[in-house]
Amino acid sequence: MRSNYEVVIIGGGIIGSSIAYYLAKAQMDVALLDGGAIGDKTTKAAAGMLGAHSECEDDASIFFPFARSSQQAYRELKDELYEISQIDIGYREGGILKLAFDESEKQKLHYLLQQPSVQWLDGHEVKKLETAVADHIVGAAYIKDDVNVIPTQTCQAFAKGAQVFGASIFENTHVYGVQKLNDSYFVKTTKGTIEAKRVVVATGVYSNGLLQDIGVSEQLTPVKGESIVVQTNQPILQHTLFYEKSYIVPRNNGKLVIGATMIEDEWSESISLQSMEDLINTAKAMIPSSSEWKIDGFTSGLRPATFDGQPFIGRHPEDEGIFIACGHFRNGILLAPATAELIRDLMLEKEENKEWLDAFRIDRRQLTKV
Amino acid sequence: MRSNYEVVIIGGGIIGSSIAYYLAKAQMDVALLDGGAIGDKTTKAAAGMLGAHSECEDDASIFFPFARSSQQAYRELKDELYEISQIDIGYREGGILKLAFDESEKQKLHYLLQQPSVQWLDGHEVKKLETAVADHIVGAAYIKDDVNVIPTQTCQAFAKGAQVFGASIFENTHVYGVQKLNDSYFVKTTKGTIEAKRVVVATGVYSNGLLQDIGVSEQLTPVKGESIVVQTNQPILQHTLFYEKSYIVPRNNGKLVIGATMIEDEWSESISLQSMEDLINTAKAMIPSSSEWKIDGFTSGLRPATFDGQPFIGRHPEDEGIFIACGHFRNGILLAPATAELIRDLMLEKEENKEWLDAFRIDRRQLTKV
Amino acid sequence: MRSNYEVVIIGGGIIGSSIAYYLAKAQMDVALLDGGAIGDKTTKAAAGMLGAHSECEDDASIFFPFARSSQQAYRELKDELYEISQIDIGYREGGILKLAFDESEKQKLHYLLQQPSVQWLDGHEVKKLETAVADHIVGAAYIKDDVNVIPTQTCQAFAKGAQVFGASIFENTHVYGVQKLNDSYFVKTTKGTIEAKRVVVATGVYSNGLLQDIGVSEQLTPVKGESIVVQTNQPILQHTLFYEKSYIVPRNNGKLVIGATMIEDEWSESISLQSMEDLINTAKAMIPSSSEWKIDGFTSGLRPATFDGQPFIGRHPEDEGIFIACGHFRNGILLAPATAELIRDLMLEKEENKEWLDAFRIDRRQLTKV
Amino acid sequence: MRSNYEVVIIGGGIIGSSIAYYLAKAQMDVALLDGGAIGDKTTKAAAGMLGAHSECEDDASIFFPFARSSQQAYRELKDELYEISQIDIGYREGGILKLAFDESEKQKLHYLLQQPSVQWLDGHEVKKLETAVADHIVGAAYIKDDVNVIPTQTCQAFAKGAQVFGASIFENTHVYGVQKLNDSYFVKTTKGTIEAKRVVVATGVYSNGLLQDIGVSEQLTPVKGESIVVQTNQPILQHTLFYEKSYIVPRNNGKLVIGATMIEDEWSESISLQSMEDLINTAKAMIPSSSEWKIDGFTSGLRPATFDGQPFIGRHPEDEGIFIACGHFRNGILLAPATAELIRDLMLEKEENKEWLDAFRIDRRQLTKV
Ligand SMILES: Cc1cc2nc3c(=O)[nH]c(=O)nc-3n(C[C@H](O)[C@H](O)[C@H](O)COP(=O)(O)OP(=O)(O)OC[C@H]3O[C@@H](n4cnc5c(N)ncnc54)[C@H](O)[C@@H]3O)c2cc1C
Ligand SMILES: Cc1cc2nc3c(=O)[nH]c(=O)nc-3n(C[C@H](O)[C@H](O)[C@H](O)COP(=O)(O)OP(=O)(O)OC[C@H]3O[C@@H](n4cnc5c(N)ncnc54)[C@H](O)[C@@H]3O)c2cc1C
Ligand SMILES: Cc1cc2nc3c(=O)[nH]c(=O)nc-3n(C[C@H](O)[C@H](O)[C@H](O)COP(=O)(O)OP(=O)(O)OC[C@H]3O[C@@H](n4cnc5c(N)ncnc54)[C@H](O)[C@@H]3O)c2cc1C
Ligand SMILES: Cc1cc2nc3c(=O)[nH]c(=O)nc-3n(C[C@H](O)[C@H](O)[C@H](O)COP(=O)(O)OP(=O)(O)OC[C@H]3O[C@@H](n4cnc5c(N)ncnc54)[C@H](O)[C@@H]3O)c2cc1C
């Protein structure tokens, strides 16, 4: 391990890894540190939907264009990453059906239909696309552009890709704190101290200690998400199904992911009996015959939530050399490329998207208060 | 592999292994063959209750004394097996509480109370023993003598014990068929043919092919049982709880087993979503706070059911040298020692228990018909 | 389960599944039966190389053109199967480097260089392609066309694809025997008897019982193959490396497979300490720094070997309605499409490849003897 | 979670859990916090030998009596813990054979023979006890009193036992820092701040951040230990075999643990190919036929090493209310009861063992220097 890098990125989840990729590709001298293994925390538990539309709440002004630009970045990334890293990100088209089983649910999907790429299907049409859906289906918003990827492989493709572009990766390197001295930062790790001109904090929901350490008062709270991975003898779904906050995602390897619970303020990754029951019930609401599906395994992870549900992306309010990128809640896989681009542009002092940076400032709460 | 043994036992589940142990201990020259690994099929999935009382139906005339004698044999076996095999069978006292949540359920437990070792506890007393039980508990039949063991370890203790007494064990040795020539049997296996003076068929629910082959018309049907293994931060149960056909068994290692479904005529060992939901619901009926328990894993196996629910134990009706021991349904772990004793006594022409042998004859269906 | 099908295929490994796909696509009425789960036996353990060249021994007259045609079939199948089954077969280009570390090893690769698609690289060039290869490398035969797939997913894509074309799939349906009556075959299974006009035996190394039952005297012997799956922080290999009978295969998901042992006449799938040591040593011979690779898991399976190393494909010598397709030894994944085509052509009485059918007759041993 | 306890223990490995047990039993008001799950870090990876003699280096003056007293405490604890917690700690007698394969190795064992409970066996006698040992065995030091336990179950028995005595346990509660205000300590966790009169730091090798935070300059370094868990068809070992720093431990459940590597300064828990090879080779040196043993799984964990190999146990040098218990290196399971007794005696101001406390002071390095 060299003791000196231009940029040290703390955290090798999807966010830190994509930032490492974008910076290394822009020829910066990067070290990516992770306390455990690349992509092994929240990122591992994600379903991998790139849900720019489906995750967009009724009034989401800023989320949508940002998410959409990130979603589009994946179209090129999927081949680029494969070529460079030799890892397939499992990009899969098919789109999402957001289901409505009564009129009020249908009303709630109304806002989505504004988007040119979203289309309303009545119950009959839905059954034609996916015959196993419950008979009393009223209709669905069909979102063609909301594709999906395999999160761990995507994260590793970013990290290996960064490596190919010259970045250094250190796993099992936990960071205790960051100290400033003159123009340099000293990153204290279990493996010794590293000096850097710039530091990026991309430690997901595990950021609270470091944020305190660098004098930022915002804190993240975990929202645990548990999922069941299943196999079935029935013909496989062709689309991701979405109902309430839950979904069934078909994977390239023939398996299905039923996700995900939303357990607030829970730091454990264990799977509870109650959560299993809830997931099974939502799956049955969408597909009655799912009761026969076979359990293949579970996943669980902690979504990093901020006070208003939007991520923190940008410069430290008082410290030029520290960059923050965390709090991506339900959408870190989707938002990784656009987040990395923002950080890269800031660092290279390229023209950046001011509107987005304002929306994602880490001190936005205090600013609003005023 | 020698090509010649006095006795060849086909099937290394709890039944075949205990028979091997009893015969080898009686100084017979034994080979125990299993198509896979010792104890790795139905035996592995068992909860391990020695439920002589709790499994006894209202009118069970023959089951009870047979089961009771087997249960008692374990009291000495637990130390004997440890000494000989160095494997701990996980014998655990504590007993079973058969719960009643209303008057009619209470009535149904009435028959149990005839037994001297069974005691009625009212709701208040049950709550004192196990505070987590649902508040509307009416009472429970408390069966002190129904202890439990860890099935895989018990099975391996029998098999290793047999080995110590001189038996030969061959895993991954599938048997295709058995042929008689003069006074010898030729057991055809994937590893060649073995000659034997006597053959024991102890292949559990997987016996149908061999039974046909030796000219027996009875067939076994599988009743799949799935269980959830859980962990909890709550104080551990001290007793096995039993309600309807389901139970929660505390293990020596601090884990709990919630079991088990009864899926008739199902040859797959997979775990279905529906089964999970059912098990979770029964657990909640007994212990409402179980909804917070953490999932540790699953087990599944196929109970070998006969037409009348009683095992087949004894000699082949027309063939002196062939012995059968299969179809132990819900109680193979419990019944293993008594089964092995019957087979040993028959083989050594010791005085045997005629009543039991009559009850468990494999041709009893035809005999009754007449 | 209907009790009557035009064709019953016994065995849902890669061979049975590909046959089901080809027959269903040709609009035949097919049932595919497996005693366990689709693709869960030998097929699951395969590395997935389509090694038409690399597996071809010096003098292989018939293997090469047959293997080559099968390899080429995959080029179209990869997209066709994805479209129909929604499952990605993990087709990955890159090719194989067959390494030589001294002159005699180099000589042994000589025969490969006859092929137009194979190229010799000297040590220097090899190191440029794969910098981690041991420094004393002398050179390598570079086989561009020997790509690879992910076996389980390929097998499931065939099976689901067959289902989409109308085939019925029954898992956990073990077949005991096949009886002929008039013009029909009665296939006896754990779930009852099924009548069929034609039967295909595709039960891999597990065929011996059935072959006996249908009066065929040939037997298969198992050659166990164990592999280690690893992860590495080093840049990933771009090519499959092959040395002696061992190899390192990079997977799309960023993992590497180090395979495989050749343990003759072994029916167990367990992983022995000795085998681990051997695999680790071969990996180090190819890539010294592999000693730092991290173990992710193991696989193991039984290759179905015939007396001469070539598969049995074709009609039963005396029974028009029975077809046999087993014994694919080291190359069942590679040979699946070509095997399925032969069976389909025979069944539909299309013009078939006589030369291949002669080479793969199940009674070829007797014929040669004469 | 109450916000106020008499004692907060940070770290729920074997050390923190045993302290919680001893304090709760002494009727103190205790909270035990762990960032993950009880016993899930280094403790989980231990073999569980109580090696008072076998771990004692030639000249170990202080280690031996301390270890011996702890070893003896287990004799009573095994039943006490089972009664209170319902969890079996897997206490298993049999003892350790420290093997010598040549004269110089024999010489090195000489010091052990001073102990009354240790006995020299010549090669012939060793072979009689364990027939599978390599034939060229010269002899062994036979240590009857060095028994073993199952670490995870022991740790959980302590924690559940503490709970029964009134302690509160909080898993998934990571501690960021400890602050003193007046006479109280404020323990900052992911779940909020807890006030305590006394704090115990028992965070194993993960203590460095907290030690810095409380102004202690000593640091721990990890020594990774990897093991292989195996199964065998051969008769099971009756004794633990020890050779060089490696060993083979037979478990109650019929499995064997081959351990363990010593990889200095390594924070990852992954298993490397090189380590596998080394373990396999040492096993073969002891038992040649081990090459046929079957791999069942792996374990890995980080031993907490101090500068001189002895643990830190006692009061913070400048802060009365903070207690430290970490750095138990190769022997935390063995030393847990004696460590907990020391801490309890200090806290209750009982008469404590001064000699031991002096030897284990955390500021002993500075003191010596003077
Ligand atoms: C059930 C579930 C389903 C989801 N589905 C989707 C989805 O379909 N689409 C989508 O876009 N998003 C989804 N998400 C959200 C997504 O997973 C997260 O937003 C994203 O993974 C966050 O990435 P991250 O890199 O910020 O955090 P992480 O993946 O947690 O990475 C942070 C890394 O930092 C490391 N680290 C932490 N502290 C330190 C330290 N002090 N020193 C060194 N290293 C440290 C950790 O080891 C970790 O590897 C889902 C989440 C869950 C839980
Ligand atoms: C969920 C569940 C819970 C249970 N709980 C309890 C309980 O609490 N108490 C209790 O007493 N019982 C219980 N049981 C029942 C008990 O598990 C069975 O009765 C018992 O395991 C049957 O043992 P077996 O040896 O007959 O069969 P198996 O354990 O299935 O053994 C048969 C063996 O034969 C081998 N074999 C089969 N065919 C061949 C062949 N042709 N050649 C070579 N080998 C062959 C197989 O590989 C297998 O190892 C439970 C069962 C289930 C499923
Ligand atoms: C380590 C290893 C590496 C390999 N690598 C490669 C490679 O890189 N490339 C390659 O081309 N090949 C490779 N192979 C070879 C390849 O795996 C086999 O040739 C191929 O899988 C054989 O397929 P199969 O369908 O004949 O057998 P199987 O996959 O074993 O399928 C047979 C099926 O029949 C079922 N069955 C058996 N008996 C019955 C019954 N009585 N009733 C009902 N169902 C039954 C079984 O359950 C099973 O699913 C490798 C093999 C191994 C072990
Ligand atoms: C391969 C191997 C074999 C071994 N064999 C033996 C043996 O045979 N006999 C023997 O006596 N010993 C053995 N040991 C040594 C023994 O395992 C250790 O000495 C012992 O486990 C140390 O226990 P601990 O409680 O100090 O640490 P741990 O078990 O690591 O517990 C520390 C706990 O603190 C928690 N924690 C850490 N930081 C925080 C925080 N900031 N906030 C909240 N919680 C936190 C962690 O989650 C963890 O659970 C072996 C070790 C290894 C690796």
What is residue D111's predicted lDDT score, i.e. its pLDDT? 86
Asked whether A303 and A329 are in contact (CB, 8 A), the reply is yes
Ligand 3 lined by C10 (C-beta under 6 Å): yes
Q: Where are the beta strands (DSSP E) in chain D?
A: 4-10, 30-33, 96-100, 118-122, 139-143, 168-170, 175-181, 184-189, 192-201, 221-231, 240-243, 246-250, 256-259, 263-264, 294-305, 312-315, 322-326
Of the ligands numbered here, which is closest to the C-alpha atom of A74?
1
Mean pLDDT (whole number) for A218-234: 94
For the ranges C11-15, C21-25, D351-355, the lowest mean pLDDT is seen at: D351-355
In sequence order, what are the residues at sequence separation of 6 or more whose Cβ sits closer than 8 angstroms to the Cβ of residue D366? Answer: none
Q: C190–B268: do the CB atoms touch at under 8 Å?
A: no
pLDDT attached to residue D226:
98
Quickly list DSSP for B87-101: -----B---EEEEES
Using pLDDT thresholds of 50, 70 and 90, give the confidence band for residue A60: low
Residue B352 has which token pair? 């045997």
By C-alpha distance, which of D171, D173, D158 is closest to D23? D158
Option in B190, B209, B212 nearest C267 (CB): B190
Query: DSSP letters along B141-209, please?
Result: EEETT--B--HHHHHHHHHHHHHHTT-EEESS--EEEEEEETTEEEEEETTEEEEEEEEEE--GGGGHH
**Ligand 3 centroid from CA C36, angstroms:** 12
Distance D110 CA to ligand 3 centre (A): 56
C82 to chain D, closest Cα gap in Å? 35
For the packed helices B273-286 and A273-286, what is the interaxial angle rounded to 10 degrees?
Answer: 140
| DSSP characters over A332-359 | HHHHHHHHHHHHHHHHTT----HHHHHH
Residues of chain C above pLDDT 90, percent: 82
**Pocket around ligand 4: residues whose beta carbon is below 6 Å from it?**
D 10-16, 33-36, 40-43, 45-49, 174-175, 202-204, 206, 210, 225, 227, 259-260, 301, 303-304, 326, 328-334
Q: How far is the CA of B46 from the centre of ligand 2 (A)?
A: 8
* Ligand 4 centroid from CA D327, angstroms: 9
Is C203's pLDDT higher than 90?
Answer: yes
User: Residue for token digits 């260089």?
Assistant: C113
Instruction: Kindly report the protein residue whose alpha carbon is nearest to atom 25 of ligand 3.
Output: C13
A212: nearest CA partner in chain D:
D176
A214: distance to nearest CA of chain D, Å? 14
**pLDDT of residue C337 exceeding 90:** yes
Alpha-carbon distance of B231 to B152, in angstroms, equals 20
Distance from CA of C141 to the nearest CA of D (A): 27
Chain D residue numbers with beta carbons less than 8 Å from the beta carbon of B150 are 253
Nearest ligand, measured from the Cα of A187: 1
Rounded distance from Cα B246 to ligand 2 centre (Å): 19
Minimal C-alpha gap between A245 and chain C (Å): 25
Number of H helices, E strands in chain B: 11, 17
Distance CA D81, CA D160 (A): 9
Kindly report the protein residue whose alpha carbon is nearest to atom 18 of ligand 4: D332
Q: Which of D44, D160, D251 to mutate to test the interface with B (most CBs of B within 10 A)?
A: D160
Which ligand 4 atom is nearest residue D299's CA? Answer: 1
Q: What is the pLDDT of residue A54?
A: 85
Q: How many residues does chain B have?
A: 370
Q: For residue range A189-211, what is the model confidence (pLDDT) as tens digits?
A: 988 899 999 999 999 999 998 99
Q: Give the pLDDT confidence of D268-325 residue by residue, as tens digits.
A: 999 999 999 999 999 999 999 999 999 999 999 999 999 999 999 999 999 999 999 9
Res. A56 pLDDT band, cuts 50 70 90:
confident
Q: Read off the pLDDT of each residue in D8-37 and give the average, rounded to a whole number.
A: 97
Is pLDDT of A17 > 60?
yes
Q: What would the pLDDT profile of A257-272 be if each residue is shown by its tens digit?
A: 999 999 999 999 999 9
Q: Is the peptide bond before D260 cis (omega within 30 degrees of 0)?
A: yes
> Scanning every residue of chain D, which has its alpha carbon at the shortest distance from the alpha carbon of A219?
D190
In the predicted structure, residue C370 carries a pLDDT above the cut 60: no
Q: Between chains, do D190 and A208 touch, taking CB under 8 Å as contact?
A: yes
Q: Which atom of ligand 2 is nearest to the CA of B333?
A: 11
Q: Which among B172, B176, B270 is the nearest to C209, CB-wise?
A: B176
Which atom of ligand 4 lies closest to the CA of D203? Answer: 34
- How many of the other CB atoms lie within 10 Å of CB of B265? 11
Q: Is the pLDDT of residue A370 over 70?
A: no
CA dist list (Å): B53 to B37, B70, C165 = 31, 12, 54
> In this complex, which of B231, B272, B292 lies closest to A274 when CB atoms are compared?
B292
Tokens 């990153």, located at residue: A187
Mutate one of B38, B193, B267 to test the C interface: name it (highest C CB count within 10 A): B267
Q: What domains, with CATH codes, occur in chain B?
A: 4-87+150-220+307-369 (3.50.50.60), 96-145+221-305 (3.30.9.10)
Q: Is A273 exposed, middle or buried (0-12, 13-18, 19+ CB in 10 A)?
A: buried
CA of C203 to the centre of ligand 3 (A): 8
| Residue A358, Ramachandran bin (φ over 0: left; ψ between -120 and 50: alpha; else beta) | alpha
Instruction: Specify the 3-state DSSP secondary structure of B212.
Output: helix
Confidence of residue D59 (pLDDT cuts 50, 70, 90): low
Tell me the mean pLDDT in the region C277-281: 97
State how far residue A207 is from chain C, nearest Cα, in angstroms: 24
CB pairs under 8 A between A and B: 64
Measure the CA–CA gap between C228 and C251, rounded to whole angstroms: 13
Cβ-Cβ contacts under 8 Å for B110 (sequence gap 6 or more): none
* Tokens 């040939």 -> residue: C218
Q: Using a 6 Å cutoff on CB, does residue C156 contact ligand 3?
A: no
Tens digit of each residue's pLDDT, chain B (370 residues): 788 999 999 999 999 999 999 999 999 999 999 999 999 999 999 999 999 988 887 656 788 999 999 999 999 999 999 999 999 999 998 899 999 999 999 999 988 888 888 999 999 999 999 999 999 999 999 999 899 999 999 999 999 999 999 999 999 999 988 999 988 999 999 888 999 999 999 999 999 989 988 999 999 999 999 999 999 887 779 999 999 889 999 988 889 999 999 999 999 999 999 999 999 999 999 999 999 999 999 999 999 999 999 999 999 999 999 999 999 999 999 999 999 999 999 999 888 889 999 999 999 998 766 5
Residue of chain B whose alpha carbon sits nearest to that of A272: B294
Q: Contact B81/B178 with Cβ under 8 angstroms?
A: no
Nearest-Cα distance to chain D for A34, in Å, is 11
Residue type, A271: I
Q: Specify the ligand 4 atom closest to the Cα of D333.
A: 11
For ligand 2, residues with CB inside 6 Å are B 10-16, 33-36, 40-43, 45-49, 174-175, 202-204, 206, 210, 225, 227, 259-260, 301, 303-304, 326, 328-334
In 3D space, the residue among D234, D277, D232, D275 whose CA is nearest the CA of residue D257 turns out to be D232
Taking CB atoms and an 8 Å limit, are D283 and C277 in contact across chains? no
Q: Do C209 and B173 touch (CB under 8 A)?
A: no
Residue contact D295–C292, C-beta within 8 A: no
Which is nearest to D121 in space by CA: D99, D104, D103?
D99
pLDDT at D85: 93
Size of interface A-C (CB pairs under 8 A): 62
Radius of gyration, CA atoms only, chain A: 21
Predicted local distance difference test score (pLDDT) of residue C59:
59
Inter-chain residue contact B163 with D85, CB threshold 8 Å: no
Is a pLDDT exceeding 90 seen at residue C114? Answer: no
Amino acid sitting at position B248: I
Q: Across the strands, what pairs with B199?
A: B8, B322
Mutate to test the interface with C, among A79, A252, A255, A295 (most CBs of C within 10 A): A252
Using CB atoms, pick whichever of C153, C163, C236 lies closest to residue A253. Answer: C153
Binary contact (D208, A190; C-beta < 8 A): yes
List the residue whose alpha carbon is closest to atom 26 of ligand 3: C204
* ipTM (interface predicted TM): 0.90
Sign of the torsion formed by the C-alpha atoms of D234, D237, D243 and D249: positive
Contact pairs from chain A to chain D, CB under 8 Å: 28
pLDDT surpasses 70 at C369: no
